Amino acid sequence: MTSTSDSDLTCDAFLGGKLHLWQPRTGYRAGVDPVLLAASVPAKAGETVLDLGCGVGAAALCLGARVPGLELIGVERQGAYVALARRNGLKVFEADLTDLPTRLHDSQFDHVLANPPFFDRTAGRSATDQGRESARGYDTPLAAWIDAAARRLRYRGHLHIIHRAERLPELLAGAAGRLGSPEVWPISPRIGKPAELVIFRARKEGRAHFCLHPPIVLHKGARHERDGISYVPEIEAVLRHGAALLN
C-alpha cells in the first residue's frame, strides 16, 4: 500500500518549478505523460475540468497552472493517491469511475481528461507496489473510461486521453456512437521512429470527420542518451515552461 508519510514522499517540481507535487518516493510517480496531456487541452478560464483516475493530480494541476480560472475536479479510487492529490490542492472524489458519486451525476464538464493504465493485468507480470500496479495495469476496459467521460461531458464538451499507440483501435471503438469528431496526434520519440503514444480527442455531439494529425516528436538526435535531455524546443517549452502543446 502506498504510504502518505512525509518520509516516504518526495515533493517534485513540474513545469520548471511553477508547480510542486507530493508523490510516493517509490511506486507509481507522475512523469511526462500527464504533462503532455494537460498541455493538449485548449481550456479557457471559467471552464470546468474532470480528471478521471487523477492519481496525485498531475494532469489537472498542470492544466490549472497554465490556464488560471478553471474549476478542477478529480476522481481517484486509491485512497493514498486521493490524500496526496488533495494535499497538492486538487478537489478529489474517492470513487471508481464505473460508480461515480451522486454529487458528480448532477455535474457536467467542458473537458474530461484521462491517462488510463497502459498494460493488461492478464498479460505479463504485475508490479509489486500496489499503487504502481493499479496505475500501470488495468482492470477497467477503455470503453468504460470513455463511457464515464461521455456521461459527464456537457454538450460540445471534449474528452482528452493519452495512451499507448497500440490501444488506438480500442479508443476509436469506445468512442463510436458516444462521441464524435475524433482526432489523434501520434507521439514519436524521434524522427523516423514509430509512435509509442497517442493523444486522443473527441467531442460530445461532434460531427467532424476523423482527423489524424502529423506526429509530435519528443527528442532531437538519432538515439537516446539519457533521461531528461534532448527534447525538441516545442516539448522543452511544454515541460519546462508550461506552454500549450495543441490548439
Residue 132: predicted pLDDT: 46
CATH number, residue 232: 3.40.50.150
Q: Residue 131 — pLDDT band, cuts 50, 70, 90? A: very low
Q: Residue 58 — pLDDT band, cuts 50, 70, 90? A: very high
* C-alpha cell at position 50: 474532470
Q: Is the pLDDT of residue 134 over 50?
A: no
Q: Residue 135 — pLDDT band, cuts 50, 70, 90? A: very low
Any domain includes 158: yes
Mean pLDDT of 191-217: 97
Residue 41: predicted pLDDT: 98
8 Å CB contact between 15 and 59: no
Residue 227: predicted pLDDT: 64
Q: Is the pLDDT of residue 209 over 50?
A: yes
Q: Is the pLDDT of residue 169 over 80?
A: yes
Q: Directed axis angle between helix 168-175 and helix 142-152, to 10°?
A: 40
Any domain includes 132: yes
Mean pLDDT of 67-89: 97
Span 24-41, pLDDT tens digits: 998 889 999 999 999 999
Residue 79: predicted pLDDT: 96
Any domain includes 97: yes
Any domain includes 2: no
Mean pLDDT of 99-104: 93
Which range of residues forms the domain containing residue 83?
7-241
Any domain includes 247: no
Residue 28: predicted pLDDT: 87
Residue 88 DSSP SS3: coil
Residue 3 DSSP SS3: coil
Q: At which residue does the C-alpha cell 470527420 appear?
A: 209
Per-position DSSP letters for 214-237, written without gaps between them: PPEE-B-SSS--STT--B-HHHHH
Q: How many domains does the chain have?
A: 1
Residue 228: predicted pLDDT: 61
Q: Is the pLDDT of residue 123 over 60?
A: no
Helices (H), the chain: 32-39, 58-66, 79-87, 102-105, 130-136, 142-152, 168-175, 233-241
Q: Is the pLDDT of residue 133 over 50?
A: no
Any domain includes 1: no
User: What mean pLDDT is reported for the chain?
Assistant: 91
Any domain includes 175: yes
* C-alpha cell at position 127: 508490479
Any domain includes 246: no
Q: Residue 118 — pLDDT band, cuts 50, 70, 90? A: confident
